[in-house]
Amino acid sequence: MVKSVSTVPEEILDEQRAFMKRVYDINMTACQQSGSSPYAFVHSYGCQQNVADAEHIKGMLAEMGYRMTDEIGQADVVIYNTCAVRENAEDRVFGNVGALKNQKRRNPSMIIGLCGCMMQQEHIAQRIKKSFPFVDLVFGTHALHAFPELLYEALTSGHRVFETTGSDGVIAEGLPTKRDGHIKAWVPIMYGCDNFCTYCIVPYVRGRERSRSSEAILKEVKELINEGFKEITLLGQNVNSYGSKEDEISFAELLRRIAAIDGDFRVRFMTSHPKDATKELIDTIAACDKICSHIHLPVQSGSNRILKQMNRRYTAEDYLDIIRYAKEKIPGVTFTSDIMVGFPSETYEDFKQTLALVKQVEYDALFTFLYSKRVGTKAAAMEDLTTDAEKSRWFRELLEVQGEIGRKRNASYVGQTLRVLADGKGRSGEGFLTGRSESNTIVDFEADDSLIGQFVHVKITEARNAALSGVLV
């Protein structure tokens, strides 16, 4: 059955534009009196989707007359865009918010706002309300488009503003965007998730899966390419299922249409769910030069028993089949993945199956995590008999195994010439630039700053633990 996507009506967006104008007028009046412009500080935690959301927040703030600052002490508005995926991310937020108490004491008119996934959880919003009385504004993921109205209320009402109403989620097109750079761009193609992995809070805080129209996505990508952006990263909790609930093209077809756009650019995407990674997708990557031959494919575990408890809906054998197919079809394909250690009931035998899979695939890099209990998920109620000491020991073992694989993979690039997008100053010192190859590996090389934002060819001369060094060809 085709689902009708809930799109924010244009009249609602017009109302938000009116609130932007009201806040702008307030700021301009204050600016005339004080002689200085208002400043805003915005910081995101967590995934690239949060970064993309923060670019919309910055865009709306710019429309309301704010200039961006990296100094909290200079800011009139402070916004923390939060992440709920793991406990340590939440702890960092609470610690940093607590530190704002003194800033608020020195500048009582400062507006402190918290948004994002953490705030979409009722118990977190209540904790903020009770324990952090100096926080003025709290809103969840579903109220992002209403930020101008909420900020206006916080500025003018004299009371705290909370908007964390639950929702299956909406799509708001045409929000202002202030991008963090001019070389690489994030383009969300879908929001939310329907997978309900037992450890994951995302479907509860970001809502059900919904896809943007391919027409809107292609329009945005064309505009970015015309503006000179060189790398487009398509974002979604599960990009592989793009359009599956709407009357839309497949993700593979979307990639083909983007790759067919004129211009010198390349395309990445994340994140892919293995259960929806199709041979059509692999064939598309193989056929399109503009699509990077690097695939981030989170496996989480190599144990079928644990995968079933995680509700991942594929087996280790299924996963390895798509890996093998990709290696056959895509020359030089590289893989990265997410691995979770210490899922409730995981045994050392389960963990050894994960190690075996890691050794078989030979990832270029891994993003490794200890299991973090999330309130409201099914895994939070599962009995966990594995001690923290055991989990930490397994975690170290995984890092050692991947470290050796990573060093071997990096060493294999020595002598090769890679196409690199130069995107900034290098880590090796003055006169060096840095960039990423198509395989997403960091490369440092000696070059003039004038090459920043261009594709260059670099011959690799040295492999380090986390990066490569080379010389311009």
Q: Please give the average per-residue pLDDT across 276-289, as a whole number.
A: 97
Residue 79 makes CB contacts below 8 A (sequence gap 6+) with: 40, 41, 42, 43, 54, 57, 61, 113, 114, 115
**Can you tell me whether residue 358 is helix, strand or coil?**
helix
DSSP H helices in 251-387: 251-259, 279-287, 304-310, 316-329, 348-361
d(CA 278, CA 252) in angstroms, rounded, equals: 9
- In the chain, what is the greatest distance between 2 CA atoms, to the nearest angstrom? 69
The backbone torsions φ and ψ at residue 392, rounded to the nearest 5 degrees and listed phi first, read -65, -40
Confidence of residue 2 (pLDDT cuts 50, 70, 90): very low
Please check the confidence at residue 428 and state whether its pLDDT lies above 90.
no
Please check the confidence at residue 466 and state whether its pLDDT lies above 80.
yes
- Dihedral sign of CA atoms 328, 189, 260, 176 in order: negative
Question: Quick check: 391 and 363 in contact, CB under 8 A?
Answer: no
Question: Quick check: 39 and 66 in contact, CB under 8 A?
Answer: yes
Question: Structure pTM?
Answer: 0.94
pLDDT score at 3: 44
Instruction: Please choose, from the candidates 340, 348, 355, 270, the residue with its C-alpha nearest in 3D space to the C-alpha of residue 307.
Output: 340
- Dihedral sign of CA atoms 373, 375, 378, 381 in order: positive
7 DSSP 8-state letter:
B
**Can you tell me whether residue 377 is helix, strand or coil?**
coil
- Dihedral sign of CA atoms 413, 418, 421, 425 in order: positive
d(CA 408, CA 243) in angstroms, rounded, equals: 39
Number of H helices and number of E strands within the chain? Answer: 13, 19
The one-letter amino acid at 156: T
d(CA 19, CA 10) in angstroms, rounded, equals: 14
Residue 429 makes CB contacts below 8 A (sequence gap 6+) with: none
Question: Quick check: 212 and 172 in contact, CB under 8 A?
Answer: no
Place of tokens 């079928």: 304
Instruction: Please choose, from the candidates 175, 189, 296, the residue with its C-alpha nearest in 3D space to the C-alpha of residue 243.
Output: 189
Q: Domains in the chain, please, with CATH? A: 10-163 (3.40.50.280), 184-411 (3.80.30.20), 417-472 (2.40.50.140)
Burial class (CB in 10 A: 0-12, 13-18, 19+), 387: exposed
pLDDT of 353-406, one tens digit each? 999 999 999 999 999 999 999 999 999 999 988 899 999 999 999 999 999 999
User: Which is more confident, 464 or 419?
Assistant: 419
pLDDT of 130-189, one tens digit each? 999 999 999 999 999 999 999 999 999 989 999 998 877 789 999 999 999 999 999 999
Q: Please give the average per-residue pLDDT across 241-247, as a whole number.
A: 90
Please check the confidence at residue 28 and state whether its pLDDT lies above 90.
yes
List Cα–Cα distances, 256 to 148, 250, 282, 285, in angstroms. Answer: 37, 10, 12, 9
d(CA 377, CA 87) in angstroms, rounded, equals: 13
d(CA 180, CA 422) in angstroms, rounded, equals: 16
pLDDT score at 170: 87
SS3 breakdown of the chain: % helix, strand, coil, rounded to 5? Answer: 40, 20, 35
Place of tokens 């450890």: 199
**Can you tell me whether residue 107 is helix, strand or coil?**
coil
